[in-house]
Amino acid sequence: MTILYFNNRYYLAVLLFLLTGFSVPGFAQSRKNISFNQDWTFRKTNDTINTKSVWEKVTLPHTWNAIDMQLGKDFYEGEGQYKKEVVFGPEYKNKRLFLRFEGVGQVAQVYVNHKLVGTHKGSYSAFCLDITYAVKLGESNSILVKVNNKARKDIIPVNHFLFGIYGGIYRPVSLLVTNKVNITTTDYASPGIYISQKNVTAKSAEVSVAVKIENTEKSGQDIDIKTDIIDHTGKIVSSKTSAQHMTTQGRQQFSQDFQLTSPHLWNGFNDPYLYKVRTQLLLNQTVIDEVEQPLGLRKFEIIAGKGFFLNDQPYAMHGVCRHQDRWQYGNALSNAQHKEDLDIIKEMGATTIRFAHYQQAEYLYSTCDTMGFVIWAEIPFVNTSTGEEADNAKQQLMELIKQNYNHPSIYVWGLHNEVYGKTPADFPAVLTRDLNDIAKTEDPYRYTVSVSGYGEMDRPTNLNADIQGMNRYYGWYEGKIGDLETWAKTTETIYPDNKLILTEYGADGNIFQQQEQADLKEEYDYTSPFYPENFETKTHEIQWPIIAKHPYITASYIWNMFDFATPMWNRGSMPARNMKGLVTFDRKLKKDAFYWYKANWSKEPVLYLTERRTTARKHAVTPVTVYSNIGQPVLYVNDKKISAAPVQGTNAVQYIFKDIQLKKGINKIKTVIKKDNKIYTDHIDWSLQ
């Protein structure tokens, strides 16, 4: 059983409550945000294997599919239940209590003392429920959450095909405690304040802060709304206070406008500078509620044919896509694991991330603000449509926007990925237009995007958002690797005024399957059981230089940063796995293609020999490829320096030593560069059969 109290004064509060019937004056005046992740028990209610359905102790975040969904299609899909007993102390008298769930997969029914207090549909967005009326102070309260991850036609995603819908309360839960006059917590689980910015330059910026407030007192209240804009040193650079009368009838919204002079701009990785906005409600000069949110002042702009601009300067959009799951953890990840992913992405030199194909952890968006990543956020309207999911898609888009409105790193809202209709009047196109209207109404200051898996701009469901995204897998699902060049030229010629992003590209690479360069072609049959890592490497070696010379491609996103689970698939001799990642599912091994991009994108020195897992060789004469962004490398084979200079590969960081003679048995390959009085080396061993 959990006993909730503030500041270790629970027993004093209990005594005073019993003696007087009142809470302690001045006790916990403003809101509290209390972790609610401990002391849960869990059971699967419809598990045909575990028929006893035993309750087990768990700590949130938790998923019941951490293993089975990553092994194949025979995973547990259905209901699970989470239970917790809580005593709320007397200090909660005259307070409002809310349970805020950051992510539950995918339908949640929440009961307090056997009373249904709310239902939520959708695995990836937060929801917040008022439980005040259902709680009994000073007694044990039963919290029961019924969770179901069964795919449904009326909830996006409607199937487990592109990725699995993990079951469980897989993100953190919080207890929010406020006074009866409070900044709203239940406007789609948003922070309750919405920070807009426009006309941002190095000379000035216009900032507007809207706050939504609720009054559940028995009478109207005269309050002050005070908003401060605070710089990174803690100095208040601008402040406004306005007096308002809060009626008891409905949620009310108020706005405060600011004009900042010579603002310090948020500038991506160059300078991810953040202000802080603090909005307070004051009653008789006492703070009764307070919310803080980040403010990064920046200007995003896409100019067709020229690319992406940040604060009126060209900004390289080197991008990757990221799925949130991890080997043997499912999607129930810690903040440390999320941060590890971001650190790996940053190490490679990527500047932008497409969080696909759904809303991801709040920690990620906040950390991207502070690190300087430029972010694409989207909803899971993917793969197919049923005609029954419109209401849920609109709900999830509202949640995505309202919950993440204040993150300066987000530049675009994604509306759908690879959902098709035969005419512009079919369900997917109509729903996409409706979603676009919602996004532009709720947030007119950001772009919208929809994504097609075809290369033609005039597909019936296309051109319903500000940006048209296209997924192109030349060499893997169609054509040859180099066909990307023809597509880019043709599209740019026919549609020069359209904003275009290459939203996915790449190929699978199974690290346990290898093929020598001499045996690689420029096209592959993805239905084969053989997915050599080398083909993935070759795909990226050819396609990145094509992308780099076409500014018409505003941004490009590698599919994918990490291997991830696809429970309905059985491809490349690896069941339930998409292996297009540049890093393995467990994050322990970085594939050759990772270092290709690191050499091209990162400012860190890179010297790397490729084909390091292609250790068993059958060709006695072979090329050796080196990635180097620090100059021309020297090569040694079996301790003998190769006198012939390397030829340039597809771009300036690729060096190919041709016609290298191997001997029978073990061959020691070594490359060396001396730069700025520092020696860089890399080596691998190959065995010629």
SS3 state at 308: strand
Is 472 strand, coil or helix? Answer: coil
| Kind plus residue range of the DSSP H or E element containing 38 | none
Alpha-carbon distance of 512 to 616, in angstroms, equals 12
Residue 399 annotated in active site: no
The burial of 618, by beta-carbon neighbours within 10 Å (0-12 exposed, 13-18 middle, 19 or more buried), is given as exposed
Q: Exposure pattern of 592-604 as b/e (b: 16+ CB <10 Å)?
A: bbbbbbbbbbbee
Given a contact cutoff of 8 angstroms between Cβ atoms, the answer to whether 593 and 575 are in contact is no
Q: What is the DSSP letter of 134?
A: G
Q: Are 407 and 365 spatial neighbours (Cβ–Cβ below 8 Å)?
A: yes
Among the listed residues 276, 163, 283, 263, the one whose alpha carbon sits nearest the alpha carbon of residue 215: 283
| Bridge partners (DSSP) listed for residue 310 | 300, 313
**Is the peptide bond between 172 and the residue preceding it cis, with omega within 30 degrees of 0?**
no
**H or E stretch covering 579:** none
Instruction: Note whether 507 and 524 are within 8 A (CB).
Output: yes
* 390 Cβ neighbours under 8 A, 6+ residues apart: 427, 431, 434
Two tokens, residue 120? 């939520």
Full strand arrangement of the beta sheet holding 640-641: 616-617, 678-688, 665-675, 634-637, 640-641
CA dist., res. 610 & res. 612, Å (int) = 5
- Whether the CB-CB separation of 367 and 342 falls below 8 Å is answered with yes
* Spatial separation of the C-alpha atoms in residues 360 and 335, rounded to whole Å: 12
Long-range contacts of 426-430 (CB under 8 A, 24+ apart): 426/460, 426/461, 427/385, 427/387, 427/390, 428/385, 428/461, 429/460, 429/461, 429/464
| CA distances in angstroms from 87 to 30, 393, 396, 402, 461, listed in the order given | 21, 37, 33, 32, 53
List, as one string, the DSSP characters of 349-386: T--EEEE-SS---HHHHHHHHHHT-EEEEE---BS---
Choose among 452, 448, 561: nearest CA to 502. Answer: 452
> Residues 288, 294, 299, 305: is their CA dihedral positive or negative?
negative
Are 455 and 502 contacting, i.e. CB atoms less than 8 angstroms apart?
no
Tokens (6 digits) for 517: 């360069």
CB contact at 8 A, 49 and 187: no
H-helix or E-strand spanning residue 401: helix 390-404
Candidates 145, 50, 160, 154; CA nearest to 99 is 145
Could you say which of 77, 389, 399, 418 is catalytic? Answer: 418
Give CA–CA dist 326/70, Å, rounded.
Answer: 9
For 587-603, the DSSP string reads S--B-HHHHHHHHHH-S
Give just the sign of the alpha carbon dihedral 634, 344, 302, 424.
positive
The H or E element spanning position 270 is none
- Catalytic residue IDs: 418
